[in-house]
Copies of this chain bind each other. A is one copy, B any other.
């Protein structure tokens, strides 16, 4: 869907194409992709003349977006590019990267899908796409939830060591929201273990009677778990037979987001 809510776009002249800037960005991309990065090699890949590539790179370097390894005579991506790029996640970029997949999930399965991140030792919901079913979920954007009794919480901890997980959970016993709530660290850790084997986590009416959630972790470019995506539905619509299929589907969606963020794993 393109943004066609600008009726004034009558002309077909492609506006906003500044060649010099495009070339510079292209160089940056080439820098981030390749391994061996001499000036001549870069010029070849970007199809620029050496002198042009040189001047652009020099500009990138002066701004810190590129670095010049004097010993090896090779170029690489600079600190400034990293700084600017890392603003992406904190400026709502994570949500942008995830929304398309979340919407796909909802289109397909017609259940509410949430995205959550870790904050302190709680999960915080940062995005939601509602299913069209009439039953309303309890979570809202910005809401917080404990880790031990939610799908997103479990998925968020799937990347962490047992020691870390224990620390974040605290000693227990945890408050039981329902009679299915896991109230001991041991029970939780065992659930996490299963989740890791399966690739997705489960909240089996542990927070709210009659609500099941299926969640999977989202990883950044280095493989660190930065968020988790969950599908929430009345237990009646998530019978045991469908569990595995739904789980795989949620996991695929989460993996797609991870891939977008540069996770190769």
Chain A positions near chain B (C-beta within 8 angstroms): 3, 5, 15-18, 20-26, 28-29, 31-33, 35, 54-65, 67, 70, 76-93, 95-97, 106-107, 110, 117, 119-121, 124, 126, 132, 134, 136, 140-142, 161, 163-164, 167-168, 220-222, 260-262
What are 11 A-B pairs with beta-carbon distances under 8 A? A18-B24, A25-B59, A32-B85, A32-B91, A64-B119, A76-B91, A82-B126, A83-B142, A85-B86, A86-B86, A120-B136
A80–B18 CB distance below 8 A: no
Secondary structure type dominating chain A contacts: helix
- A186 CB to nearest B CB, Å: 18
One of B25, B88, B117 near A60 (C-beta < 8 A): B25
Query: Apart from A16-B58, A79-B260, A82-B261, what 9 extra A-B contacts exist at CB < 8 Å?
Result: A31-B84, A32-B83, A32-B85, A32-B87, A79-B97, A82-B262, A84-B142, A86-B220, A132-B168
State whether A84 touches B21 (Cβ < 8 A): no
Most B C-beta atoms less than 10 A away, residue of A21, A54, A58: A21
Give Cα distance in the complex from A206 to B4, angstroms. Answer: 53
Partner of A107, one of B26, B29, B161: B161
Taking a contact as CB atoms closer than 8 A, the residue among B17, B96, B134, B222 that contacts A62 in the complex is: B17
Measured in the bound complex, the distance between the Cα atoms of B134 and A56 in whole Å is: 45
Does the CB pair B91–A77 fall under 8 Å? Answer: yes
Q: Are B17 and A58 in contact, with the CB atoms below 8 A? A: yes
Known contacts A18-B20, A60-B25; A77 and B55 CB within 8 A of each other: no
A60 partner residues in chain B, CB cutoff 8 A: 21, 25
Chain B minimum-CB-distance residue to A110 = B167
- The 10 A-B pairs at the shortest CB distance, nearest first, are namely A85-B85, A16-B58, A32-B87, A82-B88, A20-B20, A21-B24, A83-B142, A132-B167, A82-B85, A86-B221
CB distance from A118 to the nearest CB of B (A): 9
Known contacts A107-B161, A107-B163, A132-B167; is-contact A84 B81 (Cβ 8 Å): yes
